[in-house]
Structure 1
């Protein structure tokens, strides 16, 4: 509900423009939650198109006199990637704007633009392009028949399909394939029949048809192909039909189809990741059984019911358990609850056991499982257990491992915790550890900057004696983390000559400095002599940079 309310408010043009105008009037760069994101938005036509901010696009990229106008005109001119983005997100208004303002010459990219619009089924864009092409004398007469044919395949217009497909030579597979895909995606078997009857069809095409039907979940197409004799009546491997993981809809079809499917032990093993019903069905319809990977797959995917069924009905056993696969649809608490029950059951009922890697894995999220493994199993863990606990911010697990295990602390513990941005863990280690216990690196500040964690940088600066020993300024600037850059400069945390470093970067045309947002920020900051930057940049001539500085100089004159 909150998400929907936010969209309603934020997508109101008047409200949004008022909010952003307030941000725009500020001259300070760097606020992570407002100004910095605002800069990212207005400086990226791709983001503006993706989120459909047409008014902002016109204001900040099209309007004469907008900030960095000449540079933006250069960037927009016949930029096919921008047009492709507009097509993918179905933004006809942006395409019209580009054409009407002479930023897009349709005669240059007509086929690419039209083909993409067709393949993405953007009807409004296709219709607009047809009119625009005709008014601009762009000849796409060879494309029109395929458009009409595609539409006929989608609408199941058999008469039109027969009329148009008869004009395609029987060896022109490239022209037949897109309409065939369209018909398969909608399950129109009469259309498929008509298209195939006009073509010289080989095994390769049938192989592709099988896989397309499966990918679109149009399984009845496979049955129809068999009934019409388009595919042989023989046993098929699942790989020939184009599926490996058997989902619910596919399972329902397999139970009724007349196509004979030969399930291998690999199919059985893979099915153990998913559904108990599928596992039982394959068990009854395959003479190959499974391997010891089936129970392993079931366990690491938290399929407790399948693990128990395999235990009771199969004798292949399992690999030792060394990890789990996290399901993004399951909460951390639910994963921990299910896994803990499975671990206790597995300990009591199976002999394969776990590996040290398994405790390493669960150390990132479950103290209860770590304790159970420690007190009830002998496999132990490795130094990665403490590393995983540290990187996940699991202070209590880290404490337990430190107090109860004998594995060494990883040499690179501090580096990884810092890169992960685990400030509370860094604070805990710093405040409770013995001198030199955790191999504190003098690069601690540099690690924090690399993680883009300003809070950690501030804490290190205010509570420790660590300072930057490498070019952290470069790192932060490269990431366009302007708030971080400003903090480093204001607190004199950079050990190198900032002006010299920046100017050296400008001399390299492949440098990140040539990212316009960074140049723009440097121009408006007080970090270096702007005249030196302009002078060096002009020596490293590029059309983009020239356009940018042309805007900069004209903007300076207006102030």
Structure 2
């Protein structure tokens, strides 16, 4: 019966309920409420949604199976306001903070406003944190103006990680939680130059020791260039290692030249040698690694791969 209910087979659910004694679990009813597609214009989705609603109503009228608060949270996450209103009227499960949090995470302002109107509905800092993470600036602003839960530094950190510069800027101007070095770390990892540049210009948290390595690992040469000034020898060497292991030749060349300029050649020789020994295949990069990782080398050969 659980599978029939979750998949919208109304007549099967009715027959099983009338002819069998096993019943339907609360989990299944929660899934029925959560799976509906209220916001869709697709006729198939609307038909499925109607069946889900019919199953919930029929089970409430003809069995002892009931939803839990997870049904409310799922309906809120999927923007099913009709289902929420029916559950609020017919179910004793009640709402938890997860309902508003999930509505915020998924950008459903109409659901948030309705839940807020119930007075006793609550949310947590996860609401604004996850709204910021997903770029829902309208939700972030509404929660800031109408709720008192606020957010944590995760809001800015995650907005930065996902490239939502507009959210990042607004939080910087209107909230006090700030961010951590994870914000710039994530921007470096994903190669988001605009976010990284903004953070360095507007925030004081600084650069984590792992930022350059992450940018190098993913081949983000423009970010490596931007972050490399004032990096420690260890960070530069880490960048060379990451870039070499992931075959980002241009990044290796840039950092190698920087290390040579600052007389750190002894620090990168072992790194280049290990990269050469573990390298598979034969191309210009491998030949360069071989030539420039020996104990005694002459001037570097700057040779870009073909």
TM-score for both structures, normalised by structure 2: 0.75
Alignment match, 2:105: 300
**Judging changes above 3 Å, is the alpha-carbon distance between structure 1 residues 396 and 250 closer, same or farther for their aligned structure 2 residues?**
same
Matches within 5 A, 1:81-160: none
Which of 216, 227, 230 pairs up with 2:20? 230
Instruction: Give distance in 1, aligned partners of 2:8 and 2:164.
Output: 39
Which of 271, 275, 281 pairs up with 1:472? 275
Query: After the TM superposition, which of the residue ranges 218-227 and 317-326 deviates more from structure 2?
Result: 317-326
Instruction: Give distance in 2, aligned partners of 1:217 and 1:496.
Output: 68
- Post-superposition, which runs of at least 4 consecutive aligned residues in structure 1 deviate over 6 A? none
Matches within 5 A, 1:347-358: 347-358=144-155
Alignment match, 2:138: 341
Alignment match, 1:504: none
Alignment match, 2:59: 259
Give how far 1:302 is off.
1.7
> Which runs of 5 or more structure 2 residues have no equivalent in the other structure?
38-46, 296-306
Cα pair 2:10 2:54 within 8 Å, conserved: no
Alignment match, 2:252: 457
Q: How many residues align?
A: 268
Give how far 1:291 is off.
0.7
Instruction: Give distance in 1, aligned partners of 2:77 and 2:269.
Output: 48
Alignment match, 2:157: 360
Which of 245, 258, 281 pairs up with 2:86? 281
Give how far 1:351 is off.
1.0
Matches within 5 A, 1:59-458: 210-214=1-5, 216-227=7-18, 229-231=19-21, 236-240=24-28, 243=31, 245-248=34-37, 251-257=49-55, 258-260=58-60, 261-275=65-79, 276-321=81-126, 323-324=129-130, 336=135, 339-364=136-161, 365-430=163-228, 433=229, 435-436=230-231, 440-458=235-253
Cα pair 1:386 1:409 within 8 Å, conserved: yes
Cα pair 1:473 1:494 within 8 Å, conserved: no
**Judging changes above 3 Å, is the alpha-carbon distance between structure 1 residues 341 and 326 closer, same or farther for their aligned structure 2 residues?**
closer
**Which one has a bigger Cα radius of gyration?**
1
Cα pair 2:3 2:28 within 8 Å, conserved: no
TM-score for both structures, normalised by structure 1: 0.43
Cα pair 1:423 1:456 within 8 Å, conserved: yes
- 1:304-359 deviation digits (Å, cap 9, x = unpaired): 221122112342211113643899xxxxxxx64xx112212221111111111111
SS in 2 for 1:272: helix
SS in 2 for 1:289: coil
